[in-house]
């Protein structure tokens, strides 16, 4: 079938079917207002948003403390019962985030502010090295569940993930 279609195109005998004017749709102009990721949406919708906004304006999220990162690639994951926007794991596969439909989306290529575009695993190596310095100075005050005075959400989880993936 494909060979017939290509042959017809080459010979100029391919049938031409005009588009139905009632079915015409126009794509809206892209703007930065399309960038923020709404984790309450389905994983498939977010995955498509990420793909649609490459290279500009790029999908963005503020999942990591104090940083808005651009997201350039993602992969669909399994299922979860965690709240949308929760970071489930971070490692060599990327950053796993819970979505509104109960599915997991792995962010696999990101760009931090003032940085270059890179695989999420490479970013996490740098990020965790900085965060591990904070963990080493942690007083182990037990406030991890609330808010750590050193700016860490869960120092023990951070330390466990670092040990598991990068040592």
**Which of the pair, 110 or 164, is modelled with greater confidence?**
110
| pTM listed for this prediction | 0.69
Task: Tell me how far CA of residue 60 lies from CA of 63, 111, 112, 139, in angstroms.
Answer: 9, 9, 10, 33
- Residue-wise pLDDT tens digits, 73-88: 999 999 999 999 988 8
Say if CB 78 and CB 103 are below 8 A apart. Answer: yes
- Residue-wise pLDDT tens digits, 107-155: 999 998 888 999 998 888 777 666 666 655 555 555 454 445 444 444 4
Say if CB 149 and CB 110 are below 8 A apart. Answer: no
* Residue ranges with strand state E in the chain: 59-61, 69-79, 87-91, 94-98, 103-111, 117-119
- Residue-wise pLDDT tens digits, 38-85: 999 999 999 999 999 999 999 999 877 678 999 999 999 999 999 999
């Amino acid at each position: 079938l494909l060979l017939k279609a290509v042959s017809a195109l080459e010979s100029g005998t391919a049938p031409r079917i005009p588009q139905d004017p009632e079915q015409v749709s126009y794509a809206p102009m892209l703007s930065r207002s399309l960038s923020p990721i709404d984790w309450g949406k389905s994983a498939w919708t977010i995955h498509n948003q990420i793909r649609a906004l490459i290279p500009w304006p790029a999908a963005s999220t503020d999942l990591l403390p104090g940083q808005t990162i651009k997201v350039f690639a993602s992969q669909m994951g399994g299922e979860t019962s965690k709240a949308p926007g929760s970071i489930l794991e971070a490692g060599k596969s990327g950053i796993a985030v819970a979505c509104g439909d109960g599915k997991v989306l792995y962010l696999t290529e990101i760009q931090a502010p003032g940085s270059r575009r890179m695989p999420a695993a490479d970013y996490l190596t740098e990020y965790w090295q900085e965060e591990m310095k904070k963990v080493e100075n942690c007083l182990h005050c037990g406030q991890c569940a609330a808010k750590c005075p050193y700016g860490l959400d869960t120092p023990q989880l951070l330390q466990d993930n670092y040990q598991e993936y990068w040592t």
